[in-house]
Chain A
């Protein structure tokens, strides 16, 4: 998987992956719920507004019905007819009577209009008497009505009224009674309490932006805001969201069917109030989401830990095994039945197997050279060999036979082992391998099985060190017993065949070839007292070495198995 970031730990990656997933899911559901809520609230408000508009229409209609009934009652009042028929003589009485009737039915104005649409008596504005009535359309509507009645909303002196017109019958129509009821703040408040909306009645003058408020449930500052937003062209017969101060309102503006002038009713609903329940729902959702996220964090880290802790433990165990520590350790996941349990069990079996193999290799290293043992275990175990350049060192003890005759076998073996151990260690230290022990003789190889560029000088250095070691052994072990032993070493470098020699069931890693015999022969030459040398080295080996050694040329010696005589030197020490 490709991650934008690299996680050092599996736990981190797991946590990141799952938490991202959970966070994305939560965020997506939150956004979806949020949007659905908003849409729902908006729709609900719009429905409320349209419902409010219908209630307004119904309420207005009912109010007009009521007024109409009251006006009709007045129109049939005999006293009123009497007063009217005698009013020509007493206008003051007529006006007072009209004011009285107006108060009786709580109308705001009352005008008696002649059949010719002239204002005969205006209850509170005598200056209008005799002038053309200012709502002629209303009278015309009454004339065309079966019951000679009309009703509607109308503006008068910049105020909005519900107006009804009924005929004054005596018993045929002799005049029209026009009654007006103010649509004021109280009416707006009544409508607002019925619809749970804010209600404003507006007048739109000739200028398209010249709105004024006729009545409203709003206070003065809200009114100014409403007007400002209306003048900026918002809210024309459609639902719009209008910010008023810090609150947001959804507003529906509907034209009023007016007898004169232009007016509208604006219904507002506070969006923030409407959204309040949704807000708390969103808050709850957010809280649930955060708690879910927190629980996910804990769960993910728990799961990750339960995975990574045994894995870390296994890694630690593996590191110990790598270091060669096969001590069985109680594994906590061993009892688990999942993949980790399987892994733990496999790991334990593997450790046991490795311990077995290591033991075998250890034994092998003891019976053969560790390097050969490693080579044997590393390579495919096959018979056969390959040509290799190798430096061969043969050493053999002198004066050992008399020692073996006079000492107990156990003590003899002890001394021999001390000697062989010492020699073998030196060979090892110089990168050589002990090919075999032949009694008290040691055959050591430099350059197999591993390539060794400095094989010659390592062999020579080993020989010098063996000489010192022998002196030390004499001093510690042999001289206290009354003996001094010596040795002879032959060193030669040449090409041999190296490989596994033997039968498929049992074989040795060894080298064969003429040059092996040459090395062995050089060792035997050390017995020649004429040479007076304990270490004889072939010229081939000396040439091979890059380090200068102190030598004495011994001349040529004919060697069995070599046509040409071999030029030999006595190795004295380091140059």
Chain B
């Protein structure tokens, strides 16, 4: 993953002419569609516009929802607890270390994610709870659905480096990237080399239906 540390954030939106969409299909080494892969496009020239947003990673049924999400650097994320028990959300990731000690409901303040990078979320009470927030320096990103497809819309004409990240990516330092000149609807496809899914088993008392989360 490319790091954009120290890169000044652009507040002004660049004028766009002839905006286009980018359709990306992500599959694994076996050709199966990959869910929860973050696809994002970085303009080769110029700075992408900054669009600060506020999103949510919900805790429900002792799980983080969504499992993988992406935000543009500088965005805020709220962690509402929809369970009846308290949670202790934390991250020791270099991109964002934070801790929300035991709380119920919605914390008074959202958390700001300013540095691009992977933020791994955990819960100190429930070892199996895990979620990822990928902080990217661009407003053009999307998480793939169960068909492995993601569509980036409204991109200004130009050349982009399209990158894909997934939690199970085998070699995270050598992220797959494709350069594309955006003039029409060009379908892109990525084939990812993924590790086996490592998830902790839920404790039996908490297992409701699915034994994995």
Chain A residues packing against B (C-beta within 8 Å):
76, 78, 81-82, 84-85, 148, 169-174
Contacts and interface: CB of A to CB of B under 8 A. Distances in A.
A86 to B, nearest CB: 8
B124 to A, nearest CB: 5
A76 B127 contact: yes
B97 interface: yes
Given A169-B127, A169-B200, A170-B90, 13 more contacts: A78-B88, A81-B90, A81-B92, A84-B92, A169-B122, A170-B122, A171-B120, A171-B123, A171-B128, A171-B129, A172-B120, A172-B130, A173-B198
A76 B127 CA distance: 8
Interface secondary structure of B, over-half rule? strand
Interface of B: 88, 90-93, 97, 120-124, 127-130, 167, 198, 200
Contacts of B121: 171
A148 B122 contact: no
Nearest to A171: B122
A200 B19 CA distance: 77
Contacts of A84: 92
Contacts of B127: 76, 169, 171
A55 B130 CA distance: 41
Contact of A172 (B97, B123, B124, B198): B198
* Residue of A81, A82, A172, A173 contacting most chain B CB atoms (<10 Å): A172
A-B pairs, top 5 by smallest CB distance, nearest first, are A171-B122, A85-B92, A170-B92, A171-B130, A78-B124
A78 B93 CA distance: 14
Nearest to B121: A171
Contacts of B120: 170-172
Contacts of A170: 90-93, 120, 122
A491 B130 CA distance: 164
Nearest to B93: A170
A100 B179 CA distance: 51
* Residue of A148, A169, A174 contacting most chain B CB atoms (<10 Å): A169
Given A170-B92, A171-B130, A85 B200 contact: no
A85 B130 CA distance: 17
A171 B200 contact: yes
9 contacts: A76-B127, A170-B90, A170-B91, A170-B93, A170-B120, A171-B121, A171-B128, A171-B129, A172-B167
A84 B88 CA distance: 18
A148 B198 contact: yes
Nearest to A81: B92
B118 to A, nearest CB: 10
A147 to B, nearest CB: 8
Contacts of A76: 127
A116 B70 CA distance: 27
Nearest to A168: B92
A174 B92 CA distance: 9
A85 B200 CA distance: 21
A171 B132 CA distance: 10
A81 B128 CA distance: 16
Contacts of A174: 92
A142 B91 CA distance: 24
Contacts of A85: 92, 97
Nearest to B167: A172
Contacts of A148: 198
A78 B89 CA distance: 11
Contacts of B90: 78, 81, 170
Contacts of B130: 171-172
Contacts of B128: 171
Nearest to B126: A171
* Residue of B88, B92, B121 contacting most chain A CB atoms (<10 Å): B92
A84 B127 CA distance: 17
Nearest to B130: A171
Contacts of B124: 78
* Residue of B127, B128, B167 contacting most chain A CB atoms (<10 Å): B127
B133 to A, nearest CB: 13
Nearest to B88: A78
A78 B129 CA distance: 14
Contacts of B93: 170
* Residue of A84, A85, A173, A174 contacting most chain B CB atoms (<10 Å): A85
A82 B130 CA distance: 17
A544 to B, nearest CB: 147
A187 to B, nearest CB: 32
Contacts of A172: 120, 130, 167, 198
* Residue of A84, A148, A171 contacting most chain B CB atoms (<10 Å): A171
